[in-house]
Amino acid sequence: MTRNRRGKNQDIALYGGTIFEHFGHLLLDLSRTYQLLRLFRRSKETIWFHYPEKTKRGSGEEKGVQEAGLDHPLVDEWLRCLGIRKRVRLIRRTLESSMLVSSSVLYRDREFVTADFPAAARAALAPRLRKRLLEIERVPGRIAYFSRHKLQQGTTCFEGEQEVVEALSQLPNVDVICAEELSIREKLKLFRRYPVITGFPQAALHLKYFVPYHQPGELASLFLFTAGPRSLNSNWVNLDRVFGFGDRLLDCTPSPGAGTSPVTADPTSDSADTNFQRRNPFAVGQVIDTMRALAGQ
The per-residue pLDDT for range 115-143, each reduced to its tens digit, is: 999 999 999 999 999 999 999 999 999 99
Q: What is the mean pLDDT of the chain?
A: 86
Instruction: Assign domain 129-294 one CATH number from 3.30.70, 3.30.1490, 3.30.60, 3.40.50.
Output: 3.40.50
Domain ranges of the chain: 2-115, 129-294
Q: What is the pLDDT of residue 93?
A: 81
CA distance 221 to 208: 9
- pLDDT category, 274, cuts 50, 70, 90? low
What pLDDT, on a 0 to 100 scale, did the predictor assign at position 280? 83
Alpha-helical runs (H) found in the chain: 23-28, 31-40, 52-57, 62-63, 73-82, 117-122, 127-134, 161-168, 184-193, 234-243, 284-294
Torsion from C-alpha of 186, 188, 192, 196, nearest 10 degrees: 90
Among 2-6, 211-215, 216-220, 245-249, the range scoring the smallest mean pLDDT is 2-6
Can you give the pLDDT at residue 10?
A: 59
The whole-number pLDDT of residue 49 equals 95
Query: Which residues are paired to 221 by β-bridges?
Result: 196
The whole-number average pLDDT for the span 233-244 is 92
The band of 267, judged by pLDDT with boundaries at 50, 70 and 90, is very low
* CA 225 to mean position of chain CA atoms: 17
Mean pLDDT of 161-172: 96
Q: What is the pLDDT of residue 76?
A: 96
Percent of the chain with pLDDT over 70: 84
Q: What is the pLDDT of residues 146-166, one digit of tens each?
A: 998 887 666 677 889 999 999
Sign, Cα dihedral of 125, 127, 132, 136: positive
Question: What string of DSSP letters covers 245-272?
Answer: ---EEEE-PPPTTS-SS-EE--TT--SG
By the 8 A CB rule, do 82 and 14 touch? no
Task: Count CB atoms within 10 A of the CB of residue 282.
Answer: 25
Q: Residue 131 class from Cβ within 10 Å (0-12 exposed, 13-18 middle, 19+ buried)?
A: exposed
* 89 backbone dihedrals φ, ψ, rounded to 5°: -135, 150
Please report the pLDDT score of residue 117 as a whole number: 97
pLDDT in tens, 253-262: 987 755 444 4
Q: How confident is the model at residue 51 (pLDDT cuts 50, 70, 90)?
A: very high
Is pLDDT of 171 > 80? yes
- How far apart are the C-alpha atoms of 195 and 208, rounded to whole Å? 12
Q: Model confidence at 97, in pLDDT bands (50, 70, 90)?
A: confident
Q: What is the pLDDT of residue 58?
A: 60
User: At 232, is the pLDDT very low, low, confident or very high (cuts 50, 70, 90)?
Assistant: confident
Cα separation of 185 and 207, whole Å? 10
Q: Who contacts 42 (Cβ-Cβ below 8 Å, separation ≥6)?
A: none
Element counts in the chain: helices (H) and strands (E) = 11, 16
